[in-house]
């Protein structure tokens, strides 16, 4: 059985993937939610894996996929590392400047949902928002300054991209330039909480186009 290894953003937690995991499991698919730090040990017991990183987890996904034996990767509204670099920071320079203005005197950032004046309709309801916020860590600013490895030639490996609207427009354009399967759903950054059926279907279709 193929197992879909859903990787939430390090800024959030497993609740962001829980509804999609439920849909995949109900459809008879193997599914596990794992943090970026736990991907490799968790995958060791899973057999065939499709890596599915969301948001900031995308920066580390190429190296994780390589460690797992170059497994297919379906990026979901995710950041992408540079195509021709051996390492990357976990935020671009302009965004690091924004984050520096949020950090407290000890260099610790507030939870992700407190970064923005208006989150709009990111959450489908207050109950879901509370569940997600209960898992939000407070990360140090230095987390985003650290450099993490990027797999050589990763963009030519089996990859697909599922986007929610145009938040990651540059990443969408890059994926299209690489001839990856690309699916664009109308939604905001946590659209998997609004329409887990559509997101699960998009992930499965993308994986099938990668030969899974």
Average pLDDT value for residue range 145-156: 95
Q: pLDDT tens digits for 106-146?
A: 999 999 999 998 887 899 999 999 999 999 999 999 999 99
Average pLDDT value for residue range 52-74: 97
Which residue from 23, 82, 29 is spatially nearest to 207, judged by alpha carbons? 29
Q: Which run of H or of E encompasses 88? A: strand 87-89
What is the share, in percent, of the chain residues with pLDDT greater than 90? 95
Q: Which run of H or of E encompasses 73? A: strand 73-78
* pLDDT at site 109: 98
Which residue from 43, 47, 45 is spatially nearest to 7, judged by alpha carbons? 43
Name the band, by pLDDT with cuts 50, 70 and 90, for residue 201.
very high
Structural domains of the chain ordered from first start: 3-209 (3.40.50.1820)
Average pLDDT value for residue range 28-40: 97
* pLDDT at site 149: 97
* pLDDT at site 117: 87
State the pTM of this model.
Answer: 0.96
Mean pLDDT over each residue of the chain, to the nearest integer:
96
* pLDDT at site 143: 96
Q: Which run of H or of E encompasses 66? A: helix 58-67
* pLDDT at site 166: 93
Q: Which run of H or of E encompasses 111? A: none
* pLDDT at site 118: 84
Average pLDDT value for residue range 185-209: 97
* pLDDT at site 164: 97
| pLDDT of 45 above 90 | no
Question: Residues 76, 54: contact at Cβ < 8 Å?
Answer: yes
Q: pLDDT tens digits for 154-175?
A: 999 999 999 999 999 999 999 9
User: Strand 73-78 relative to strand 159-164: parallel, antiparallel, unpaired?
Assistant: parallel
Q: Which run of H or of E encompasses 96? A: helix 93-100
């Amino acid at each position: 059985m193929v197992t879909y290894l859903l990787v939430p953003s390090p800024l959030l937690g497993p609740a962001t993937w829980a509804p999609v995991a439920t849909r995949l499991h109900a459809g008879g698919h193997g599914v596990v939610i794992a943090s970026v730090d736990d991907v490799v040990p968790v995958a060791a017991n899973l057999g065939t894996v499709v890596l599915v990183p969301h948001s900031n987890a995308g920066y580390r996904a190429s190296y994780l996929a390589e460690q797992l034996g170059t497994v297919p990767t379906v990026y979901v509204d995710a950041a992408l590392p540079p195509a021709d670099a051996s390492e990357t920071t976990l935020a671009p320079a302009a965004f690091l400047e924004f984050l520096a203005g949020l950090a407290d005197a000890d260099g610790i950032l507030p939870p992700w949902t407190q970064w923005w004046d208006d989150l709009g309709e990111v959450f489908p309801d207050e109950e879901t928002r509370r569940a997600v916020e209960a898992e939000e860590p407070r990360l140090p600013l230095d987390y985003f300054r650290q450099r993490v490895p990027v797999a050589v030639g990763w963009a030519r490996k089996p990859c697909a991209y599922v986007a929610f609207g145009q938040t990651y427009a540059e990443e969408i354009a890059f994926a299209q330039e690489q001839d990856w399967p690309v699916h664009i759903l109308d939604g905001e950054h946590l659209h998997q909480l609004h329409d887990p059926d559509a997101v699960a279907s998009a992930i499965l279709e993308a994986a099938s186009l990668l030969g899974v």
